[in-house]
């Protein structure tokens, strides 16, 4: 549950709390909704933004005293929704970090049912929260929509490159023949992103990121930037961007725990977006899903099952581990997609 709005880093037990409910799930009114027995949930950095109250964000803020919701996969145990029956396994954006969730009727149109092929291709259920889930969709669909055809030989900078979204961006760009420089917060993560195909890596905590980017940019500049973090790294990219560079503005995690605008680092060289004619485009992945989900579900799970792309994940077992697992997104202690396996049997 969201107990109070956090200031800075959330504190398990203080800003979030645990609870139990004695509802009889066999008779609780559903009003057109469904109940799922939850198998796994995804923990995503943007959930921190939803703890800030109403900041005009695209998804509604969490309500203090109510369960924190996330993207999850569950088995329907009762349904009043047309097209969904007990036994169906669904991907649901309204899943609570809890064992059972009562989903309102309004949430049902965003459900996606798993087919037998997806459940039998050997991928773990948590992969469908990572590279084959929303994180993967974010990488795949934003590259398609915002960059379009990745041009072989062009250069890409990816920040947050060892994370859930970043690791797929690195692999898709490398496979398209793009030269990739990738940043991450530890040497081990840097080794990992190079093993995925990055040509160069930067430990942004210990190395001179602007200097390494400048060397990589050479005469041409860097054509694309996939921005997961914002702040200093965004500023450094703008300085070395090629003319007509493209920034895929995916996230700004360096500012998510800031409570006041003045605590967020913003680039001081934004005017270069004008002078270099840079395209700087933000997006919310759910806007791209209707157009790209078919192609994505055909291609990406297959590539994962065949080992053509990798998905490193950071899975916590049991619902009570969720609070600590969430913090790892902000300390950088996570290694890949953060997910919680609720059904551990
Ligand atoms: P990750 O798995 O990448 O985990 C977050 C990582 O961010 C950490 O491991 C850490 O890596 C890095 N990080 C944390 N704090 C900072 C900081 N202050 N400065 C720089 N890096 C930091 O998360 P996701 O892949 O799930 O998400 C990546 C980004 O994509 C987020 O910004 C998220 O909000 C965004 N996103 C946007 C979507 C959209 O629709 N626009 C959809 C999904 C995600 P390290 O050890 O390298 O520092």
> What pLDDT, on a 0 to 100 scale, did the predictor assign at position 195?
98
Helices (H), 196-265: 209-217, 231-240
Give Cβ neighbours of residue 58 (< 8 Å, ≥ 6 apart).
Answer: 284
| Confidence label for 248 from pLDDT (cuts 50, 70 and 90) | very high
What is the Å distance from ligand 1's center to 343 Cα? Answer: 26
What is the Å distance from ligand 1's center to 229 Cα? Answer: 6
Three-state DSSP at 119 gives helix
| Closest atom of ligand 1 relative to the 251 alpha carbon | 32
Rounded CA-CA distance 155/147 in Å is: 12
Lowest-pLDDT range of 1-10, 93-102, 311-320? 1-10
Rounded CA-CA distance 143/292 in Å is: 11
Pocket residue to mutate for ligand 1, from 162, 228, 236, most atoms within 8 A of Cβ:
228
Helices (H), the chain: 116-120, 134-142, 164-175, 187-195, 209-217, 231-240, 271-275, 285-305, 322-331
- What residues are in contact with ligand 1 under a 6 Å CB criterion? 44-46, 135, 138, 160, 162-166, 184-186, 189, 228-229, 250-251, 253-254, 283-285, 329-330, 332, 334, 337
Write out the residue limits of the CATH 3.90.180.10 domain(s) in the chain. Answer: 1-130+311-345
> What pLDDT, on a 0 to 100 scale, did the predictor assign at position 12?
87
Q: Which class in CATH covers the domain with range 134-285?
A: alpha beta
Look at residues 262, 331, 274, 327 and name the one whose alpha carbon lies nearest to residue 48: 327
- Is 3.90.180.10 the CATH classification of the domain at 1-130+311-345? yes
Rounded CA-CA distance 283/58 in Å is: 11
What is the Å distance from ligand 1's center to 3 Cα? Answer: 24
E strands, the chain, where? 34-42, 69-79, 89-96, 100-103, 112-113, 155-158, 179-184, 200-203, 222-227, 241-249, 279-282, 313-317, 337-341
> Average per-residue pLDDT in the chain?
95
> What pLDDT, on a 0 to 100 scale, did the predictor assign at position 5?
84
pLDDT digits (tens, 9 = 90+) for 129-162: 999 999 999 999 999 999 999 999 999 999 999 9
What is the Å distance from ligand 1's center to 256 Cα? Answer: 10
> What pLDDT, on a 0 to 100 scale, did the predictor assign at position 192?
98
Q: How many CB atoms lie within 10 A of CB 331?
A: 9
Look at residues 45, 275, 277, 309 and name the one whose alpha carbon lies nearest to residue 159: 45
Write out the residue limits of the CATH 3.40.50.720 domain(s) in the chain. Answer: 134-285
Pocket residue to mutate for ligand 1, from 8, 44, 45, most atoms within 8 A of Cβ:
45
Evaluate whether 304 touches 123 at the Cβ level (below 8 Å): yes
- How big is the CA angle at 183 (ends 178 and 187), to the nearest 5 degrees? 120
| Closest atom of ligand 1 relative to the 284 alpha carbon | 40
């Amino acid at each position: 549950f969201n107990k109070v709005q956090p200031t800075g880093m959330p504190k398990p037990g203080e800003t979030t709390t645990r609870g139990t409910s004695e509802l009889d799930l066999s008779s609780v009114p559903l009003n057109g909704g469904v109940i799922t027995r939850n198998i796994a949930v995804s923990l995503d950095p943007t959930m921190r933004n939803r703890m800030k109250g109403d900041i005009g964000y695209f998804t509604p803020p969490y309500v203090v005293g109510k369960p924190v919701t996330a993207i999850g996969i569950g088995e329907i145990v009762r349904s009043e929704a047309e097209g969904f029956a007990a036994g169906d396994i669904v991907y649901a954006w309204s899943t609570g970090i809890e064992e059972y969730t009562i989903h309102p009727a309004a949430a049902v149109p965003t459900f996606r049912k798993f087919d037998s092929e997806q459940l039998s291709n050997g991928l773990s259920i948590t992969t469908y929260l990572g590279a084959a889930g929303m994180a993967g969709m974010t990488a795949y669909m934003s590259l398609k929509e915002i960059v379009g055809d990745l041009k072989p030989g062009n250069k890409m900078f990816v920040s947050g490159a060892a994370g859930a979204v970043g690791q797929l961006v690195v692999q898709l760009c490398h496979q398209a023949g793009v030269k990739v420089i990738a940043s991450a917060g530890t040497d081990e993560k840097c080794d990992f992103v190079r093993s995925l195909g990055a040509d160069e890596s930067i430990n942004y905590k210990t190395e001179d990121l602007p200097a390494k980017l400048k060397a990589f940019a050479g005469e041409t500049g860097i054509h694309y930037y996939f921005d997961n973090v914002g702040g200093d790294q965004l500023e450094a990219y703008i300085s070395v961007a090629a003319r007509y560079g493209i920034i895929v503005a995916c996230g700004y995690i360096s500012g998510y725990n800031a409570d006041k605008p003045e605590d967020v680092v913003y680039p001081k060289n934004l005017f270069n977006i004008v002078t270099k004619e840079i395209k700087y485009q933000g997006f919310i992945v759910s806007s791209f899903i209707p157009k790209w989900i078919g192609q994505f579900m055909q291609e990406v799970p297959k590539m994962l099952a065949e080992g053509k792309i990798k998905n490193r994940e950071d899975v916590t077992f049991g619902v009570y581990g969720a609070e600590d697992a969430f913090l790892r997104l902000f300390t950088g202690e996570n290694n890949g997609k953060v997910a919680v396996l609720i059904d551990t049997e």
